[in-house]
Amino acid sequence: MSQKILIVEDELTLQETLEYNLKLQDYQIDVAGDGMTALQLARDTQPDLILLDIMLPELDGFEVCRILRKEMNVPILMLTARDNEIDRVVGLEMGADDYLAKPFSMRELLARVKALLRRVRLDKEDARATGESGVSSDVLTFDNLLIDLTRREVRKDGELLFLKPKEYDLLVYLARHRRQVLSRDILLQRVWDWSYRIGSRTVDVHIHWLREKIEADPANPTRIVTVRGVGYRFEG
Ligand code: CA
C-alpha cells in the first residue's frame, strides 16, 4: 500500500506542484489549505508524513505542529519562508522532524520525504522483528519506565510521556543497546539520517530533553549516563 502524505500549504501554485510531484512518486495525497483543515485531515486520515507550511490562515504551522505532536507520532516536515522561522522550527518546543527553507528544489524535497518515510518504515520493521525474534517483547521495561514499541508509547510510573519522534527514536535505540557506549557519531548515523550532516549538538540537546522526561533527577542522570569524550550509555 502506498504511503499517505498530507500537504498543508496555502499557496495554490506550490500546493499543486507538491501534489503533482508526490503523486508521480506513487504517494497517496491529501491537501489542506489552512491550519484547521490540516488538523481535521490529519486526525481523519492518519498520514505517514505531513508537509507543513508555517504561514497559514486560521491556525499557523507552529500551532498545528504543537497540537499534532500531542496526538500522534507522525513525522512533520516544516516548510519555512523566512530565516527567523527556522530558528523556531529547530528550536526547543516545536518537535518538527525536519524543515526545508523556501524556495527549495523538488529534488531536495523528495529526498527528504523519502528519508523520513524510510525511517518510519524501518522503525516499524524493527519493532516487528524484535517482537518475532523473542529477544525482547514489543514492550521494553526498565524499572518504572516502559517503552511500547508497537504503539510507540513511553510510560513512566504508568503515565504516558509525550516524546518528540526523534526523542522516541533515540530512546529506543539507546534501550536496545543497553550498557553499550554509543558515540554521538553512531547516534547521529542510526537515529538521524547520516546524510543530514547535523551537528553532534543535536544529539546532546535530545539527550537533555530525554533526561528531563525519564530521569528521576535530570541534573544527576542515572539512566542515560555521559561517557566523557565519547558519548552516552543507557543503563536502564
Ligand atoms: Ca503560506
Span from the CA of 157 to the centroid of ligand 1 (angstroms): 41
Span from the CA of 9 to the centroid of ligand 1 (angstroms): 6
Residue written as grid cell 501534489: 19
Span from the CA of 79 to the centroid of ligand 1 (angstroms): 9
Tens digits of residue pLDDT in 128-170: 665 554 444 588 889 899 999 888 899 999 999 999 888 999 9
Span from the CA of 10 to the centroid of ligand 1 (angstroms): 5
Q: Which residues pair with 77 in a beta bridge?
A: 51, 98
| Residue 39 cell numbers, joined | 488538523
Span from the CA of 110 to the centroid of ligand 1 (angstroms): 19
Q: Indicate whether this model's pTM tops 0.75.
A: no
Contact call for residues 224 and 233 (beta carbons, < 8 A): yes
Contact call for residues 11 and 54 (beta carbons, < 8 A): no
Lowest mean pLDDT among 44-53, 191-200, 203-212: 191-200
